[in-house]
Structure formats: structure tokens, C-alpha cells
Amino acid sequence: MSAGTDADNALLVALEGPAPAMEIALDLVKRSGWALPVVLFGCAAFWGLDGALSGAYALGIVVVNFLLAAWLLQVTGRISFAAMAGAALFGYVLRLGLIFLAVMLVRDASWVSLVPLGLTLIATHLGLLFWELRYVSGSFAYPGLKPKGRATPSTPSIESAA
């Protein structure tokens, strides 16, 4: 048996080309603009101005969390797939710690209402992820977002699939 080289190990191969994770995260950030008025009005209706401010702060945390996750995957993917896997695993723990820190730093501030802050953190994380599922391609041919354009006989249009 011969000794393997680095070229034989798939984990040591780096990602070539654009990072699909960053493309998806930027699209998610764009879609969070639609969630902002809903969060502000919803939190203001139940908890007043403090609720609206807390909801806006939570939405900001969510957006930064998605961007940081994509940035970690983009940077480490250019190093190797093993580094990207490590960034996905340990980056998750790091980002949870940063969310915890962001909440703990403001928990005693006069403008913070913890219930809308917590509800907005959970609901917008899940809501934006499920909303983005409609726009993400599950194909190796088009990693990242689904392509926009005309359909060919072998690829039905996105509109006809919906």
C-alpha cells in the first residue's frame, strides 16, 4: 500500500470560486428588511416602545449572526473543507456565545424588555431560515440561490414549481 498525498485527501481540498453561504446570507439579510416593520409594529403593539427597541436589537443580532456564520464558512472554505467543517461546528458554539453575550450586556438597560427580545431572537432566526428555503437551490449544478431566468425543457421554471 502506498502512502497517500495531500491531493488524495478530500478534506484538505480548498473551495474554489464564490462561497454559496455568503450569497445566501446576503439574500437573508435583504429579506430581513421585510421582517423589520413586522417586528417593530408587533413588539410595539404588545410591549410599547421598549418592546420595539428590543425587537429591533434582536433582529440586528440575528442578521449579524447569519453574516458571521457565512463569513466563517467562506474564509475557512478557502483553506480546506476540514477547516470549513471545524468552523461550522465550533463557529456555532462561538455564535451562540456571542448571542448570549449580546443579550447579557443589555439585559438591565432601561429600554430592554426581555420577552420581546427573546421571542424575536427565536422567531426571526427560524422564520428567516424557513422563508429562505424557497430561494435556496438544492442542486450541485447551482449551489447557493436558485437561478433566475428562463426555463429550458430539462429545467422547469421556479414560478411553475411554486
Nearest Cα residue to 57 out of 131, 101, 121:
121
pTM for the full predicted model: 0.77
Which pLDDT score, from 0 to 100, does residue 46 have?
94
Sign of the alpha-carbon dihedral angle for 67, 73, 76, 77:
negative
Structural domain contains residue 26: yes
Q: Write down the mean pLDDT value for the chain.
A: 83
pLDDT at position 158 is: 56
2 part of a folded domain: no
Least confident range from 13-22, 49-58, 100-109, 132-141: namely 132-141
For residue 160, what is its C-alpha cell?
411553475
pLDDT number for residue 20: 83
Residue 157 forms part of a structural domain: no
| Residue 79 structural domain | 22-146
C-alpha cell at 146: 436558485
For residue 20, how many other CB atoms are within 10 A of its CB?
19
pLDDT tens for residues 11-45? 677 767 777 888 888 888 988 888 899 999 999 99
Whole-angstrom distance, CA of residue 74 vs CA of residue 14: 11
Determine the longest span between alpha carbons in the chain, in angstroms: 71
131, part of any domain: yes
